[in-house]
Amino acid sequence: MTQKGGGRGRLVADKRYSSSKQPPKASKPTKPRKNARRGGGNGGGGGGGRGKPPRRNGPITGLIIGLARLIWRVIWGVGWRLAMIVALVVGAATLYFYSTLPDYTKLLDGRTRGSVTMLDDQGKVFAWRGETFGGQIDAKNVSPYLRDAVVATEDRRFYHHFGISPRGIASAMAINMREGRGPFDGNGGSTITQQTAKLLCLGVKFDPKKWKNEAAYENDCRSGGLRRKIKEVPYAFALELKYSKDEILSIYLNRAYLGAGARGFEAASERYFGISAANVDPQQAAMLAGLLKAPSYYAPTSSLERSQERAATVLNLMHGQGYLTDRQYLDAKNNPATLSQAAQKRAGGYFADWVMDTIPDFLSRDTTEDVVINTTLDQRIQSAAEDAMKSVYDNKVSKGSKAESAIVVMSADGAVRGMVGGRATKVSGAFNHATMAQRQTGSTFKPFVYATALDLGYTPDSMVDDAPVTVKMPGSPDWSPRNYERSYMGPITLTTALEHSVNVATVRVSEAVGRENVIKVAEGFGFAQDLPNLPSVALGVGESDLLDMTGAYAGILNGGSSVQPYGLTSLTLKGDDQPLFGKPGGIGERVISKKAAQELTYMMRQVVLHGTGRRANIDGYEIAGKTGTTQSARDAWFVGFTSDYVVGVWMGNDDNTPLKGTTGGGLPAEIFHETMKRVLNGEDPKPLPMAHPGDWQVPAQQSQGQSQSAGQAPAQPQRQRRDPSQSILNELLNIFGSN
């Protein structure tokens, strides 16, 4: 074997020799080295004998290299096994979620409660309550500008990833840490698919036993953090497997909340622009897409300027990603989107809140259906009242004043046409001074004292003595009313007493006709309830809210019948043809005769022409009304009417402190004037339904000029004897509903 091996060595040597033509040098036989880089092993020749031997590593270097190789082998061995386990778990979770996903159309409306849409008297939308859903839309059918704006803003690689974007997550983590937050706090780098998974709450349904309300449920569903991100991954994969990209985008477009109670882009487009999401232009699309970042903060109804600035950022993204040409971009940027006329006005917030309070909760705040309510609101009149309030406060109220005001405009049958519940007009959910504030009524109560007298047979020309009087009250100190100006006029007519709001004369009339009768008439008109059976009731010590007071005056205008104020005319479930119910109010029972109501209207007309309500008068129009100021001027009122409308105005401080230099004949009368001037603009004057001098029989006058001393019964007004047959006829007519 050795010779054979040596023979091979010689053969090689011979070849070298023959090629170089030089004889080989004698060499001393050596033992072959282990790990030789060339040549054979044991018994091999010297085939690997050329070149320098490799350099040996030092012991420390060798140790480090060996340790690194060992660590790598461990990491690799564990890593690929762990990756395999994670892949299997994610795959199993993905398949599980995939099996639970329904047809995508069942996921478009994610609300657990319905909405309430309110229409004005012309059938136009003016208010929404709850979460409005405008109807199902499809990513293929919406405006392409809207689709592009959402993708450009929220997920520019939406059509190229499979549910998650590692690059986006890494970028978001870097931003969070750079801004001093945790890596998973703040920006999440979520794709549209992941955001859709959040909107679907990863398939978890609302459970009232687990969450105290829906807000808590949604906050939990949309919470961030590593744990939530891990759960989103398989669910996002399942969405991508189950649905197409357009179907995922459709779910997102329908379920996203966009502020002002709008759920989905269709509802938001109708809410802010009054058009369908299929018809929005680039600037409108940019504004809608911009809301996704912070719906309540960027809502144009909250701050149009802030919303337009956000929309400009979205337009930049759309232009930079090629969705808009240079010309489209410049045009959209130079002509930012604005709110629709109805959205700009935001009219009728107080009115809408009041209507919601008049219907059962299961059809309003807690409804699971979409409800449509037709109302009595006239948006022209509503705007007139709001403009009047602003005009008076801007021009005639001191800048530092905190006095509040309220206005109610009503038809003679109790239909509320406009309502302003406070100085801040474009609000919802605020304290409504027109319906919630129970305040003393002051002299606005006096017409019901005279209504009682007129219904019992007195006439506007009946006499009463305006002189000091003391009324005895069993078990209580005697009471002596005084006039506002601390002077007395002597014998005067009922018309003069009401015209100048004479306190003592009014108390005399009240005591003469019977205090109980006065209370009965006032409560019959719905003016107030639980009125105190005291002599001072004639001066308005009882309490009422402005809505009921205005409704009581509407009873005078309509000829003496009570009204129940109402704002709803019908309530229908969306999609149904027949309403569930109609108006809950309107004209009720007769309280006083038509003759008495018309005579009282004449007397109240004199209040506006010559008395305390002169500031309410409008040249060319017949207006009747009454002022009212409570003790220490804590409340100031004016309520009046034309032939078609009753307007009530209240002013006061929320802390019940006195007003400074304000009476019912002052600012409240001016607010009435400004409101009615706008309401009557362009309308032809109509006469009031009132009697005139000569229409009533003047009774024989009896002097009552002598003052009474304490302890004497108050002097009574002259009564006109009523025709018994006429009274019976009136009663029969009342039974059969005649006015």
Residues known to be catalytic: 154, 443
Tell me 540's DSSP state: T
C-alpha neighbours within 13 Å on the C-beta side of residue 459? 16
Q: What is the 3-state secondary structure (H, E, C) of 191-246?
A: CHHHHHHHHCHHHCCCCCCCCCCHHHHHHHHCCCCHHHHHHHHHHHHHHHHHCCHH
Strands (E) in 501-597, as ranges, are 543-544, 561-564, 568-573, 581-582, 586-590
Q: In what order do the strands lie in the sheet with 581-582?
A: 125-130, 115-119, 371-375, 568-573, 581-582
DSSP-derived 3-state class of residue 533? coil
Comparing CA positions, the residue from 579, 134, 559, 554 lying closest to residue 375 is 579
Strands (E) in 540-692, as ranges, are 543-544, 561-564, 568-573, 581-582, 586-590, 624-629, 635-641, 645-652
Comparing CA positions, the residue from 191, 186, 183, 198 lying closest to residue 165 is 191
Query: Do residues 659 and 653 make contact, with C-beta atoms less than 8 angstroms apart?
Result: yes
The neighbouring-strand residues paired with 371 are 116, 573
Query: Do residues 368 and 114 make contact, with C-beta atoms less than 8 angstroms apart?
Result: yes
Residue 320 tokens, joined: 């930079």
* H or E stretch at 420: strand 416-420
Query: What is the rounded CA–CA span in Å between residue 655 and residue 403?
Result: 10
Query: Do residues 154 and 286 make contact, with C-beta atoms less than 8 angstroms apart?
Result: no
Residue 452 φ/ψ, nearest 5 degrees = -65, -45
Residue 249 tokens, joined: 């985008």
Comparing CA positions, the residue from 596, 469, 580 lying closest to residue 525 is 596
Query: What is the rounded CA–CA span in Å between residue 313 and residue 317?
Result: 7
Which amino acid is it at 197? A
Query: Do residues 465 and 491 make contact, with C-beta atoms less than 8 angstroms apart?
Result: yes
Query: What is the rounded CA–CA span in Å between residue 225 and residue 507?
Result: 73
Query: What is the rounded CA–CA span in Å between residue 304 and residue 349?
Result: 18
Query: Do residues 405 and 649 make contact, with C-beta atoms less than 8 angstroms apart?
Result: yes
